[in-house]
Every structure is written in C-alpha cells, then in structure tokens.
Amino acid sequence: MASEDREAQEDELLALSSIYDGDEFKRSECTQGGESTIYLDLPENFMVFVSDNGADGLQNNGKEHMVCFLPPLVLSFELPSDYPSNSPPSFTLSGKWLSVTQLTALCKRLDNLWEKQRGSVVLFSWIQFLKEDTLTYLNINSPFELKFDSPENMERRIGPATLPEELSFAGATGFVEDQEQAVDKRAVRDIDIESLASLLQEVLDFDQTQQEKSFNKAAYTCNICFSIKLGSQCMCFSNCKHVYCKECMKSYFEIQIKDGRVNSLNCPEPKCSSMATPNQVKDLVPEDVFARYNQLLIHASLELMEDVVSCPRIVCQLPVVEEKKYRLGVCGGCSYAFCTLCRFAYHGISPCRMTPEKLMQLQKQYQRASENEKRMLEKKYGKRVIQMALDEMKSKKWLEMNSKRCPSCGSRIEKLDGCNKMTCTNCMQYFCWVCLQPLCATNPYKHFNDRTSPCFRL
C-alpha cells in the first residue's frame, strides 16, 4: 500500500506542476510537499474599504477602493506517507486580507472536502475550491471591509478548530466573526502586516502591481500609428484607460514640452481631458526634456498662487513674493524692485506705464485665454490694466470700421453725412472719401465731374 500511496503522490505533484505555472505552484525539494499560491477570481468593480471606527492613522477611512486583484492565499502542504489511502495532507493556510476566523472556516471546509474524497488525491480540489469558491463560501461581496487581527487577540483565541458545521454569514460584510471564537492553528496570520493602514496599502500596492503585469502581457492597437503592440510597449492614461504606444507618446510629449505647453499633455483622444502623470512623462522623455517640463510645471504652479509673481528680468525669472498692499516685488536673486502690476521698475504711487505694444500684447493674450488663465492674468496685471487694454482694442476696432485717415496728415476722419468731398479739420486738406485722393484746393469738385474718374458723380 505504501508504494501505491507514493506513486499516487508523485502523479499528483507532477500533474499540479503541469497545470499551474511556477508562480502558482512550487514543489518542495526536501520533503514530499509544496506550496500553492492561489489568486482568486474577483467579480467586476470589486470594492474594498476600511471602517471609520478604527482610525489607525488612516487619512481615508470609509473610502472605497476598486481593485481587480487581491493578494493571494498561500496553501503550504506536506504529504504523509499514508496519503491518500488513509491520512489527509497536513497544511497551513495564510492570507493577508482574510481574518483568522475566515481562514479557520476555509481550513474546516478543506477538511470536509477530504472526508468526501477520502482515499483519493485531494490537492487539486482544494486549490480549485480556494480559487473559485472562497468569496462565495465566506459570503464576501463588494464592498468588502478589510479587518486586522491584533497579535493579542490571536494569542487569546488560538486553539483547536471549533467552528460549527453550519456557518453563519452576514450580507455584504462577509463572514460573521466571533471575537471569542477559537481559531485553527493552521490558519496563519501574515506577520508582515502590522496595522490596518499597512493592510490597506498592501492590498492597493498588490492590485497595482498585478494590473501592470496584466497590462504588459496584453496586446493593444495604438490609435495614432495603428500598430499592434504589447502593453509593455504602450502607455495607458489612468483616468480614461486609453492606450497609445510609447513611441508616439514620446514624440507627442517632446513637442508639447518644447512649445512650453506642459498643461496640454492630455490624452490624444478627441474631447478626452485625461492628463499624463509626471512619472509617465519621466519614463518616456530624455532627462533634459523632463528637466524643462519640471521647470515649466513648477513655474505654472507658482503663477496660480495669488501672492507669487516672477521676476520680469529675462535673465532671472525667479519667483518673488508680492507685497500686495504696495504692489511691490523685490527679487531675491537680482534685487530688482518692480511694480507687480506693470512689471516696470517700482514707481510707488505714480500711475503705471504701459506701452502701446504691451497693451496690444496683453489684449491678444487675454482674448485667447481660458477662464482660469483670464483670472490669472487679472491677478497678475490687475483688472484696471486689463480693462484699459480691452478699451484700447475696442477703440481701434471702432476707428477702423467708422473712420479713414487723411491722405495728407494721417488724422482719423469720420464721415457723418453730406457728399464725398471731405475736409481734414487738422490740416484743412480736401480729399475724396471713396478713393482718398487729395483734391485741388481751388476746384475740389473737378474730381467728381471728370468722366474718366472712378468717383464720377459720387
């Protein structure tokens, strides 16, 4: 019988090695046993959270987190010499996110499965049950509350498994735990988990790592170059999940950064506002390009701060804290004292000096700006200067539409009524309103009586 048991064990271990890859099943080298790492199949939109009751230094108590993967259960086993004819495998079951009471319930279920299959190999049934039915058996639904077993409670509760055959369950929060219930010694707590905060972080970190691995193995079509590439050669925007190849995104980022548009590194998908993270940009562009991106990003952030302006000297451009009461900025780098409104040398209570070129540049910049950028410009230059620039622009537009320049002195002339013979009030020059030709002082109407003139009888 011993030889038959040994042969059955070898066949079972060989079968498990061929069914599961190296990450999921490892055979022990020194004993007749091994370890199975069991990744559970989670339903879509599975959420986890921690209770508001236990602060534990957490900043997001009660917040739900969507996960696609949970840390695996680990089934470590050793096969006795009379397995499977008589004795079951000896084992321990551990998991980071299940309580010892829930692990005890699973140990009890593995015992029941052995009793039903006594005399036959059982490891594959155990592994498949844990992989496919753990959530159902423990009645774990989304959202699932993560809990932490303190070492003190575990020491007090450790003992022989005494769970009843009929288990009690409680809706969305999973298996009902009795804090006084003895737990199975085979239910092993992960000693790396020291608190509820570290447990939550462990779950979220594992989920992110597994999602990256899953993404890297899949194939995607880039909607820019229309090439099909592995995820390891692609980049995914975290908010919208749109995927593009790294080569296309590298070129796209470099062009935007070169043009100074660091706030425009958004998803190329039309009407999509998802932004690339700094880490994604850093992974794709050269160091010198990322240094420029970082500098521009810091500068853009400083501009959003109400009391911070940049030094107007081109060779300096350092951030300067504004003394709002006096509209004064003193650069710590070059010691330049300037008016934060007009950006010229500080002039005290005297009116700001804005050149026509500066006003024209400001009005064009303001018209093209978004609402946030307009508010930024108003903080930077003041609403009075902005309004002055807009009024200047409106005046110029009105003059261009309703007046013409005198051909002699260039003064603006408005025609209210009467004929097309105009007289400049500045230089007294006669001219034609239609063709702007200067007219003879002694006979200005000759131009309109000449049949060869394009303005005949106008």
- Residues serving a catalytic function are 419
- Tokens, residue 33: 């046993």
Report the alpha-carbon distance of residue 379 to residue 455 in Å, rounded.
53
Do 89 and 122 touch, CB atoms closer than 8 A?
Answer: yes
Q: What count of other Cβ atoms lies within 10 Å of the Cβ of residue 286?
A: 10
Do 406 and 431 touch, CB atoms closer than 8 A?
Answer: yes
- CA 92 from centre of chain: 40
Amino acid 431 reads: F
- Tokens, residue 289: 């390009």
Question: Residue 378: exposed, middle, or buried by beta-carbon count in 10 A (0-12, 13-18, 19+)?
Answer: middle
Report the alpha-carbon distance of residue 384 to residue 216 in Å, rounded.
55
- CA 110 from centre of chain: 43
| 3-state SS assignment for residue 165 | coil
Residue-wise DSSP of 266-305: B-SSTT---B--HHHHHHHS-HHHHHHHHHHHHHHHHHTS
**Any residues with CB less than 8 A from the CB of 409 and at least 6 apart, and which?**
424, 426, 427, 429
b/e for 228-261, b at 16 or more Cβ within 10 A? ebebeebbbbeeeeebbbbbbbbebbbebbeeee
Amino acid 15 reads: A
Report the alpha-carbon distance of residue 146 to residue 56 in Å, rounded.
13
b/e for 44-81, b at 16 or more Cβ within 10 A? eebebbbeeeeeeebeebeeebebebbbbbbbbbebee
Report the alpha-carbon distance of residue 321 to residue 310 in Å, rounded.
9
| 3-state SS assignment for residue 32 | coil
CA-wise closest residue to 72 among 55, 53, 94, 104: 94
